[in-house]
A and B are shown apart, each in its own frame.
Chain A
Amino acid sequence: MRIKGFVLACLFASTLSSASQTVLAASDDDKWQILQKAALAAHALSYQGIFVCQSGQQSKSVQIKHFFDGQNEFARNVLLDGSPREVLSQGGDLIIYNPKNEKIVIEKRRGQNMFPAVLPANLAAVKQSYTVRTGDIERVAGREAQILFLEPKDDLRYSYRFWIDTEYGLILKSVMFNSRNEMMDSISFTQLNLVNTVDLDWFKPKIDSKKNYVMEDEVPAQADYNPSPHWMLKQLPAGYRKVDQMLRTVHGKPLPVTHVVFSDGLASVSLFIEPITSGVKPRAGHSVVGNTSFYSSVAGYLQITVLGEVPEATVAAIANSVVFVK
């Protein structure tokens, strides 16, 4: 609480100290400072608006309302196009209300990377793998924004471009580009304003109340702290760290599958390890579906599957880092 109060004070102090400072940001430290502030502003400001999310051929509008009461964070995201899905989050807990046929399925998740809070609070890992560069000032959603580029230091990750509100410090637009500078993914506010709400009446789903609300079948994942005797990781691709490991029951698999998550601070990769099922031909090879790269290979008796929104070289390197232990 005390820390959050302090952080908030800093945020407002720097917000008030005028926009010109961000425009003239010269040293790298200043640029990282803008990103640091953006990471914070997404959590510590109260705002509402509409953003458009675009990935591949698809595009969806989302209405967001985010409220921070100095202690707790509440957000409601309503999909305006297509199926009326809603995502409600309170702090790091996230609940998705997903209409499916005649039911509303409730899915619980751990919330992270929710736009506009796409940057991690701690940018140390990001600084290690990306360089920062300032661009022009542009207008987004009727507001003035400073462009910042995050460019990868190697070919193991994509590049990002952020449009940051010169007054609020919020990320107004975030775009991911591949190595050929083609846009992979874009999220952008079309409308945004700060709010001074105190009530929380709006913090509930408003999907068809005549339908039944049901919990999704338990997502069968449990934390896995035990080092496996059958495999180990050697030489991960630069910048990627293991951030999570769990055991997952996957439909159609007789044994639990180990799921390991890696991140470089911005991009995430999932690694799945399972014993090869006798009689089933092991998978091997590359594929790309939308923004996601897939790589399958075999290590000893293990089927390795790696996927993530990263270049193919990265999924291949992570798959090859798994060593079968006799």
Chain B
Amino acid sequence: MTEQISALLDDEIALEDAEHLMAGMQTNGHAGEVWSQYHLIGDVMRGANALSPNFKQNLMAKIDLEPTVLSPNAAWVNEPKVLSEANELNEARSKKQALDVKSKLPATHLPVVWSVAASCAAVMVVGWMVLQTQVGNQAAPAMVAQAALSQEVATLPATSEQGVPAEYLMAHQASAPSASSYYIQSASYTE
């Protein structure tokens, strides 16, 4: 198990093949410790700044002060009117989710969750950057035009916009093609 954890850390095991490891690290206290320690070793070897001794506990305490971190609608809390009964239900549900997750994960296992979350975030950031570049390269006029129309955009939370997966554009072109889409493939349709 520890060897596999080490391999996962070194990117020698694909994330999607590592579900059993994740599960193992969540249920097995020792494996979770190993994961944390390997990260610590790596940080020290790379000369990363050492964190204060109680960093994890302090961080978790601060996160506890933010009750709706896992809410699926977190980004929409400021949105007026859209809230309604549906959202009350959401909030109740997300609080329950937050509690569920916490109760399942004793403090020592949290780094696992954090590293997974970090990977997801990295993937999203990369995806978004790729889309941004494409938009910049291929559709500069459209972007300029969009800036003029940005009134509506401004009402949306800026941090929540991410790229729409290219699969959706491909699915759209497969089921509802425009006459030119048979011959000219759009910017985010990569071959």
Contact = CB atoms under 8 A, between A and B. Distances in A.
A155 to B, nearest CB: 12
B89 interface: yes
Nearest to A292: B186
B55 interface: no
Interface in B113-141: 116-117, 120, 124, 131, 134-135, 138-139, 141
Interface in B177-191: 177-180, 182-184, 186-188, 191
Interface string A267-311: 011101000101111111111111110101011110001011100
B168 A326 contact: no
A261 B24 CA distance: 43
Interface residues of B, number: 57
Contact of B89 (A174, A294, A326): A326
B179 A62 contact: no
A300 B84 CA distance: 10
B167 interface: yes
A118 interface: yes
B73 A298 contact: yes
A268 B171 CA distance: 12
Contact of A289 (B70, B85, B86, B134): B134
Contact of B145 (A276, A288, A309): A288
Contacts of B153: 285-286
Interface in A233-269: 244, 246, 248, 250-252, 259, 261, 263, 268-269
A2 interface: no
A114 B179 contact: yes
B179 A115 contact: yes
Contact of B72 (A83, A285, A296, A301): A301
B42 interface: no
A219 interface: yes
B89 A289 contact: no
A170 interface: no
Interface of B: 70, 72-76, 85-87, 89-90, 93, 97, 116-117, 120, 124, 131, 134-135, 138-139, 141-143, 145-146, 149, 152-153, 156-157, 160-165, 167-169, 171-172, 174-180, 182-184, 186-188, 191
A270 B149 contact: no
Given A109-B177, A279-B70, A292-B186, 18 more contacts: A55-B184, A60-B184, A87-B182, A96-B182, A110-B175, A246-B175, A252-B165, A268-B178, A270-B171, A282-B160, A283-B164, A288-B143, A289-B135, A291-B186, A305-B164, A312-B146, A324-B86, A326-B86
Interface residues of A, number: 73
Shortest 3 CB-CB contacts between residues of A and residues of B:
A285-B161, A268-B176, A270-B172
Interface in A63-81: 77, 79
B65 to A, nearest CB: 20
A279 B120 contact: yes
B175 A261 contact: yes
A290 B165 CA distance: 15
13 contacts: A53-B180, A58-B184, A114-B182, A251-B167, A268-B172, A268-B177, A276-B72, A283-B164, A284-B160, A287-B161, A289-B186, A292-B186, A316-B152
A280 B120 contact: yes
A301 B98 CA distance: 16
Given A53-B180, A281-B160, A307-B168, A288 B120 contact: no
Contacts of A100: 191
B86 A261 contact: no
Contacts of A219: 174
